[in-house]
């Protein structure tokens, strides 16, 4: 009784934790239950006996009842190390998975991902089964529960998916009327809606339907034998399972589900079959793995998926200097995309992943989202330039480096680099497309950044980041005022927060308004190196004249600062957009007009 009471209260706490931390779960409780329940039906007698002997008492002989255990404990202090073992972050847009490249946690420690964990716990159970010693070394009860859970997770498409959006966790969508995120849709919502709509709100009925399909010739029967066929040498082969997941993520999960979209019947009904098949595959394959682990006949070999030395390079995190806000980047990219000539428009279309429907601005903030991720930390210093305090000038040789002196590692160097990468677009093979996509997104983002005056600011105040002050009533800092506050205040005061209206006004100013006569000179650029120097020099001059001028730490900035600076911000957004289109039109345009070649 004491034991039971303990377990209940543990579950209670866990539930609260799970509700407070949305979207870091594996398949939801239902998904894991279903996978394990299906697996139980395919266990050999031998395996079933071994599984039962390892299950904790509270499972009462039912593997499915403890398959969510790793989700329940992973936020407890004691178990936090297990969190990264639930998923794999793959490079954005590449839509493939490679163990050696992708299986590590966010600090770069290798094997710490869901496939690594599947090998780990398979290995523990295998050696535990054949060798008394390791029974002492490993807790095989835990190993069994982890393995069963992770085989489920590796089948959830958004558990093997993009780094930048955290497997869909940061993509906020509506599921019918409810606000949620894309990851959660795949963990829970599809299964829950299916239960309600088709299975009488009864999980057992849903599982039965999936099981029927496994043995039905009109269902998956002809496929089923191939699902688990790669355990031939007795080892779990999680590799193809992870590859399938990222494929499905690209084909079905991300497709037509960009941030802000509402997902309803179309999405639900077309994705449900995918989810049901993944639950079935997870179950059949878990059974196959357990059967071979616990078989007295198979001689099990250990599989080492990664023979290549993983370079766990230590990067020193650069403190958070931010970029133009989301809004600034989005407007810059929208302005640019509208000004593209047909050839460049086509190239951009080809480079963007399908699921953004050709909208460059949907991904212009991407370099900010990924810059703190391990794989992309090298990009952190590419967002800005630190110039000497009070100099109010930019000198490429003197200023364009990262904090460790790495040459060209600043926003001006990055624009040159990515422009030159894109200028090889026409020679590109399909294999290079991914790098080109990244180059396009980086270039589009950094063209915004280099036009934000405080991104070419003084070194000691980190471009105004350490100058704390108030913006009207709330706390802010000078950098942030230029990134975001001025734009948001303008949108609220003059445009009823309608960013499209604000953008139209900006565009009106250069198509036939205030800046009309200047636009040709904005686009003056015979050589990309000279141009980036010009953009950066303009920014630091504006930073001195308008950004820093008269600002004391701790003071309150309000109407007079806002009114005089707003036109500067709007013009810089316009210039960023116009010039981004100029560069893209040249790199993707006719070869003989390609005068923007890198130096």
Ligand X SMILES: *[C@@H]1O[C@H](CO)[C@@H](O)[C@H](O)[C@H]1NC(C)=O
Neighbouring C-alpha atoms within 13 Å toward the C-beta of 60: 2
The DSSP 8-state label assigned to residue 495 in this structure reads: H
In the set 23, 26, 116, 164, which binds ligand X (CB under 6 A)?
Answer: 116
Of the two residues 150 and 394, which places its CB atom closer to ligand X in the complex? Answer: 150
In the set 65, 134, 139, 435, which binds ligand X (CB under 6 A)?
Answer: 139
Q: Is the dihedral of CA 582, 587, 591, 595 positive or negative?
A: positive
End-to-end CA distance of the chain: 77
CA angle centred on 577, ends 484 and 257, rounded to 5°: 70
Quick check: 276 binds ligand X (CB under 6 A)? yes
In the set 262, 270, 460, 504, which binds ligand X (CB under 6 A)?
Answer: 270
In the set 90, 120, 156, 423, which binds ligand X (CB under 6 A)?
Answer: 120
Of the two residues 143 and 542, which places its CB atom closer to ligand X in the complex? Answer: 143
**Among 209-217, 319-327, 372-380, 561-569, the segment contacting ligand X (CB under 6 A):** 209-217
Query: In the window 211-240, what residues touch ligand X (CB under 6 A)?
Result: 213, 219-220, 226, 229
DSSP string, 85-151: GG-EEE-TTT----HHHH-B-TT--BT-SHHHHHHHHHHHHHHHHH-HHHHHHS-HHHHHHHHHHHH
Quick check: 149 binds ligand X (CB under 6 A)? no
Cα→Cα distances 366→46, 129, 132, 139, 161, Å: 51, 47, 51, 42, 15
Nearest-CA neighbor of 287 among 103, 124, 98, 67?
A: 67
Quick check: 420 binds ligand X (CB under 6 A)? no
Q: Per DSSP, which regions of 522-562 are E strands?
A: 556-557
CA distance 588 to 349: 11
The DSSP 8-state label assigned to residue 359 in this structure reads: -
Contacts of residue 390, defined as CB under 8 A and 6 or more positions apart, other chains included, come to 458
Strands 178-181 and 172-175: antiparallel
Smallest separation (angstroms) from ligand X to the CB of 20: 23
Quick check: 11 binds ligand X (CB under 6 A)? no
> Are the C-beta atoms of residues 91 and 434 closer than 8 Å to each other?
yes
In the set 39, 210, 569, 587, which binds ligand X (CB under 6 A)?
Answer: 210
Quick check: 56 binds ligand X (CB under 6 A)? yes
Query: In the window 68-107, what residues touch ligand X (CB under 6 A)?
Result: 81, 85
Smallest separation (angstroms) from ligand X to the CB of 431: 23
In the numeric block, the tokens 């499905």 are attached to 248
Cα→Cα distances 54→51, 70, 112, 128, 234, Å: 5, 16, 24, 11, 20
Quick check: 193 binds ligand X (CB under 6 A)? no
In the set 112, 149, 159, 480, which binds ligand X (CB under 6 A)?
Answer: 112
> Are the C-beta atoms of residues 144 and 135 closer than 8 Å to each other?
no
Of the two residues 270 and 527, which places its CB atom closer to ligand X in the complex? Answer: 270
Of the two residues 268 and 561, which places its CB atom closer to ligand X in the complex? Answer: 268
Of the two residues 92 and 142, which places its CB atom closer to ligand X in the complex? Answer: 142
Of the two residues 255 and 432, which places its CB atom closer to ligand X in the complex? Answer: 255
Q: Is 374 helix (H, G, I), strand (E, B) or coil?
A: helix
Smallest separation (angstroms) from ligand X to the CB of 303: 14
In the set 134, 256, 298, 468, which binds ligand X (CB under 6 A)?
Answer: 256
Nearest-CA neighbor of 238 among 157, 380, 117?
A: 117
**Among 136-144, 452-460, 481-489, 502-510, the segment contacting ligand X (CB under 6 A):** 136-144
Of the two residues 85 and 246, which places its CB atom closer to ligand X in the complex? Answer: 85
Of the two residues 206 and 540, which places its CB atom closer to ligand X in the complex? Answer: 206
In the set 117, 382, 436, 557, which binds ligand X (CB under 6 A)?
Answer: 117
Quick check: 353 binds ligand X (CB under 6 A)? no
The residues binding ligand X (CB under 6 A) are 56, 81, 85, 111-112, 116-117, 120, 139, 141-142, 209-210, 213, 219-220, 226, 229, 255-256, 270, 273, 276
């Amino acid at each position: 009784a004491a034991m039971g009471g303990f377990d209940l209260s543990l579950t209670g706490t866990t539930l609260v934790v799970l509700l407070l931390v949305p979207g870091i779960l594996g398949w939801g409780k239902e998904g894991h239950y279903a996978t394990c329940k299906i697996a139980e039906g395919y266990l050999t007698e031998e395996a079933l006996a071994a599984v039962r002997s390892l299950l904790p008492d509270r499972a009462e002989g039912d593997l499915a009842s403890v398959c969510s255990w790793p989700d329940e404990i992973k936020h407890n202090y004691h178990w936090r190390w297990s969190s990264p073992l639930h998923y794999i972050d793959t490079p954005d847009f590449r839509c493939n998975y490679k163990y050696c490249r992708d299986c590590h946690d966010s600090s770069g420690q290798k094997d710490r991902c869901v496939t690594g964990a599947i090998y780990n716990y398979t290995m523990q159970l295998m050696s535990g089964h054949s060798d008394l010693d390791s029974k002492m070394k490993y807790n095989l009860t835990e190993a069994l529960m982890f393995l069963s859970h992770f085989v489920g997770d590796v089948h959830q498409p958004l558990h093997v998916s993009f780094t930048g959006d955290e497997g869909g966790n940061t993509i906020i969508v509506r599921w019918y009327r409810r606000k949620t995120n894309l990851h959660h849709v795949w963990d829970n919502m599809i299964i829950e809606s299916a239960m309600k709509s088709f299975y009488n709100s009864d999980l057992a009925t849903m599982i039965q339907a999936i099981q029927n399909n496994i043995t039905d010739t009109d269902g998956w029967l002809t496929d089923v034998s191939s699902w688990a066929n790669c355990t031939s040498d007795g080892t779990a082969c999680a590799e193809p399972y992870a590859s399938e997941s990222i494929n499905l993520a690209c084909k079905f999960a991300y497709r037509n589900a960009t941030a802000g979209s509402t997902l309803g019947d179309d999405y639900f009904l077309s994705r449900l079959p995918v989810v049901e098949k993944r639950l079935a595959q997870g179950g059949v394959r878990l059974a196959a793995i357990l059967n071979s682990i616990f078989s007295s006949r198979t001689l099990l070999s250990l599989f080492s998926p990664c023979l290549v030395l993983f370079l766990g390079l230590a990067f020193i995190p650069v403190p958070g200097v931010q970029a133009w806000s989301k809004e600034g980047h989005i407007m810059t990219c929208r302005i640019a995309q509208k000004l593209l000539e047909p050839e460049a428009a086509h190239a951009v279309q080809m480079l963007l992943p399908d699921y953004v429907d050709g909208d460059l601005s949907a991904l212009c903030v991407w370099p900010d989202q990924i810059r703190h991720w391990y794989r992309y930390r090298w990009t952190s210093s590419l967002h800005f330039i630190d110039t000497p305090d009070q100099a109010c000038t930019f000198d490429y040789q003197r200023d364009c480096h990262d904090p460790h002196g790495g040459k060209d590692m600043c926003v001006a160097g990055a624009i040159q680099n990515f422009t030159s990468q894109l200028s090889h677009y026409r020679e590109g093979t399909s294999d290079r497309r991914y790098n080109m996509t990244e180059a396009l997104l980086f270039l589009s983002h950094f063209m915004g950044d280099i036009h934000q005056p405080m991104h070419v600011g003084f070194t000691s105040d980190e471009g105004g980041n350490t100058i704390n002050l108030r913006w009207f009533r709330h706390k802010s800092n000078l950098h942030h005022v230029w990134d975001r506050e001025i734009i948001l205040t303008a949108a609220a005061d003059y445009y009823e927060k309608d960013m499209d209206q604000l953008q139209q006004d900006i565009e009106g100013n250069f198509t036939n308004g205030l800046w009309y006569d200047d636009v040709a000179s904005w686009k003056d650029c015979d050589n990309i190196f000279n141009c980036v120097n010009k953009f950066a020099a303009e920014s630091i001059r504006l930073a001195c004249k308008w950004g820093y001028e008269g600002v004391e730490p701790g003071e309150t900035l309000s109407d007079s600062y806002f009114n005089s600076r707003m036109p500067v911000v709007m013009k810089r957004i316009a210039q960023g957009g116009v010039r981004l289109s100029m560069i893209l039109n040249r790199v993707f345009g006719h070869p003989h007009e390609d005068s923007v070649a890198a130096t």
